[in-house]
């Protein structure tokens, strides 16, 4: 908001005149003829006072009604518009142009309110209430905002006049940490797909060992729901959680009818320069007894550079997921023969979100409410990891 303009100040502490001057008149009686003069002067004085008072009353009677009647008339009669003279300054010229264009479009104009620095939701409410459309865009990641999700710029600027229904474009900075100039990138790989691809590919760059491009995945022992369905549902909820934190999310898949080999899933993370790749799966065991969350990180000749950060991420995510869901936490697992890990040059983890071979975990994994808890937990762990870097 613009600072209040400072008007002129009134100095009410004028110095007072000090006392009476030395030349104050003094009455000196006793000169001339006393008799006659002594009575005549008071009489003239009284007459003069009467005349002054009478004149004053007459004047007052004459002026009062006229004055009180004239004031409002003068106020109404005063011109309400001032036409700038030709050659007036540019401000007057632009104001004149603005009002004529409003007349031409016949749309009422409203002053655009200031929304810079306000939360995006508040800005949208304010601008909508003022009759404008709102276009919201993410500011350049180098833009510094005082807090996450606050407006960085607006166009037109506050104070401009705009026809109702016109758009005001606001940009905001979703970063929670204004000092972090780069936006985090997380790749989410929802495990498996509707149809397995059993064609073979090397399990790592240059490896003679071959593995199916995409294995079939587990099936719920009670629900009979395939793993790829629950994995995608959890992954889509995780995307929402992370995007709300200002993270740029890249999805390996958003549908089930795809064919994306595990080596290619890793390369998607590499190309995105992901800060972390989160691979969402559900577990299965030969026994129906095991339950809980298992987090896996890579450990092979190809993944030495990413093993430590991946292990750190796995630990933080496992802790956050088990806290959010109340599920059992299995010890972290280091695995060397997963193609989706071995082709990755970016930190990467698998979160096994329960055992589909257990009826309770199976039902939980298919429950939207529990899927949301899983997503919240994974998201919290991912954010902990990203902020720890």
Q: How far is the CB of 336 from Zn ion (least distance, A)?
A: 17
Tokens matching residue 46: 């009284």
Q: Does 298 bind Zn ion (CB under 5 A)?
A: no
Residue number with CB closer to Zn ion (239 or 281): 281
- Residue number of the CB closest to Zn ion reads 281
Please, what is the minimum distance in Å from the beta carbon of residue 339 to Zn ion? 13
Within 276-295, which residues bind Zn ion (CB under 5 A)? 281
Question: By CB under 5 A, which span of 149-157, 202-210, 273-281, 313-321 interacts with Zn ion?
Answer: 273-281
Contact status, residue 311 vs residue 380, Cβ threshold 8 Å: no
- Determine the Cα–Cα distance for residues 311 and 333; give it in Å rounded to an integer: 9
* Count of residues near Zn ion by CB under 5 A: 3
Contacts by 323-328, CB closer than 8 A, 24 or more apart? 323/377, 323/380, 324/373, 324/374, 324/376, 324/377, 324/380, 325/293, 325/364, 325/370, 325/373, 325/374, 325/377, 327/291, 327/292, 327/293, 327/354, 327/361, 328/291, 328/292, 328/293
Report if residue 354 touches Zn ion, rule: CB under 5 A.
no
CB closer to Zn ion out of 109 and 227: 227
Helix, strand or coil for residue 119?
Answer: strand
**Vertex 296 angle, CA 290 and 300, to 5°:** 135
Residue 151 or 234: the one with the smaller Cβ distance to Zn ion is 234
Is position 217 an interface residue for Zn ion (rule: CB under 5 A)? Answer: yes
> Which stretch, 2-10, 173-181, 187-195, 203-211, contacts Zn ion (CB under 5 A)?
187-195
Q: Omega into 156 within 30° of 0, i.e. cis? A: yes
191 lines the binding site for Zn ion (CB under 5 A):
yes
269 touches Zn ion (CB under 5 A): no
Q: Which is nearer to Zn ion, 211 or 281 (CB)?
A: 281
Provide the binding-site residues for Zn ion, judged by CB under 5 A: 191, 217, 281
């Amino acid at each position: 908001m613009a600072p209040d303009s400072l008007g002129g100040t009134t100095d009410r502490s004028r110095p007072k005149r000090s006392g009476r001057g030395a030349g104050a008149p003094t009455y000196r009686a006793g000169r001339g003829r006393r008799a006659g003069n002594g009575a005549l002067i008071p009489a003239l004085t009284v007459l003069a006072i009467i005349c002054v008072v009478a004149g004053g009353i007459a004047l007052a009677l004459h002026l009062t009604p006229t004055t009180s009647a004239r004031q409002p008339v003068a106020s109404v009669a005063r011109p309400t518009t001032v036409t700038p003279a030709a050659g007036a300054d540019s401000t007057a010229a632009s104001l004149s142009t603005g009002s004529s264009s409003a007349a031409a479009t016949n749309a009422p104009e409203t002053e655009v309110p200031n929304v810079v620095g306000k939360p995006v939701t508040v800005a949208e409410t304010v601008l909508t209430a003022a009759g404008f459309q709102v276009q919201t865009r993410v500011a350049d990641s180098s833009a510094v905002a005082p807090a996450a999700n606050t407006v960085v710029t607006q166009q037109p600027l506050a104070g401009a006049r705009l026809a109702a229904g016109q758009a005001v474009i606001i940009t905001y900075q979703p970063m929670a940490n204004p000092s972090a100039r780069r936006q985090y990138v997380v790749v989410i790989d929802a495990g498996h797909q509707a149809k397995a691809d059993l064609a073979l590919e090397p399990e790592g760059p240059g490896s003679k060992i071959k593995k199916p491009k995409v294995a079939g995945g587990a099936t719920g022992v009670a629900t009979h729901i395939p793993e790829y369905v629950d994995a995608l549902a959890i992954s889509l909820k995780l995307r929402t959680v992370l995007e709300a934190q200002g993270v740029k999310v890249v999805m390996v898949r958003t549908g089930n009818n795809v064919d994306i080999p595990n080596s290619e899933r890793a390369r998607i993370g590499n190309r995105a320069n992901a800060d972390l790749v989160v691979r969402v799966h559900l577990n299965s065991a030969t026994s129906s007894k095991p339950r809980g969350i298992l987090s896996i990180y890579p450990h092979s000749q190809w993944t030495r550079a990413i093993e430590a950060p991946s292990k750190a991420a796995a630990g933080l995510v496992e802790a956050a997921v088990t806290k959010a869901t109340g599920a059992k936490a299995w010890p972290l697992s280091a695995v060397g023969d997963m193609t989706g890990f071995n082709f990755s040059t970016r930190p990467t983890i698998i979160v096994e979100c329960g055992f589909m071979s257990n009826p309770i975990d199976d039902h939980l994994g298919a429950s939207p409410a529990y899927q949301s808890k899983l997503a919240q937990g994974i998201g919290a762990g991912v954010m902990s990891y990203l902020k720890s870097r």
